C-alpha cells in the first residue's frame, strides 16, 4: 500500500470516530508486514481522561489480531487538517519497534517520518 493509500484509509476511518466532546474526529491505519491494515478511531468518554486516541485504538486491533510486525501508521483528521501522533501514542507505538514509519499529510503532501525521529528517547524499562 502506498503512503497516500494508507493515509486515505485512516481518513475514511475517521468518519466513525466517537468524538462528541472535542469534535476532533481522528482515524488511524496501521500496516503490518503481512500486508494487513488495522484501523482505529478516537473514542471519547464523558469522563474526558478516559478517551483513547485513534492510533492506540488501531494498535489494540493489530495486537488483538496477533499481528505485531508493524510497518507504518497513518493518522488523519476527518476533515483533512494536519495531525501528528501525541506523545502518549508515540510511546505506545515505540513498544512495537523504532523502525515504524508515521504517515501524515502536511500542506497537501504525504509526509513519512520514522518514529525514532519523532520520539528519539523513548522510555524503556531500566536494566
Shortest approach of ligand THU to residue 102 CB, angstroms?
A: 10
Residue 51 binds ligand THU, judged by CB under 6 A: yes
Query: Residues with Cβ < 8 Å from 9, sequence gap 6 or more?
Result: 1, 27, 29, 37, 39, 74
Contact range with ligand THU by CB under 6 A, out of 22-30, 31-39, 60-68, 114-122: 22-30
**In Å, what is the CA distance from 98 to each residue of 3, 15, 46, 102?**
18, 29, 34, 11
Catalytic residue among 31, 44, 55, 104: 55
Binding-site ranges for ligand THU (CB under 6 A): 19, 22, 24, 26, 42, 44, 51, 53-55, 85-86, 89
Amino acid at each position: 500500500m502506498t503512503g497516500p493509500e494508507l493515509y486515505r484509509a485512516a481518513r475514511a476511518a475517521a468518519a466513525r470516530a466517537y468524538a462528541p466532546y472535542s469534535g476532533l474526529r481522528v482515524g488511524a491505519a496501521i500496516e503490518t508486514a503481512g500486508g494487513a491494515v488495522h484501523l482505529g478511531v478516537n473514542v471519547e468518554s464523558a469522563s474526558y481522561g478516559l478517551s483513547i486516541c485513534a492510533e492506540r485504538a488501531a494498535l489494540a486491533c493489530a495486537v488483538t489480531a496477533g499481528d505485531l510486525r508493524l510497518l507504518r501508521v497513518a493518522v488523519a483528521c476527518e476533515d483533512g487538517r494536519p495531525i501528528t501522533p501525541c506523545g502518549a501514542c508515540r510511546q505506545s507505538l515505540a513498544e512495537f519497534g523504532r523502525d515504524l514509519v508515521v504517515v501524515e499529510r502536511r500542506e497537501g503532501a504525504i509526509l513519512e517520518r520514522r518514529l525514532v525521529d519523532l520520539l528519539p528517547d523513548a522510555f524503556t524499562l531500566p536494566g
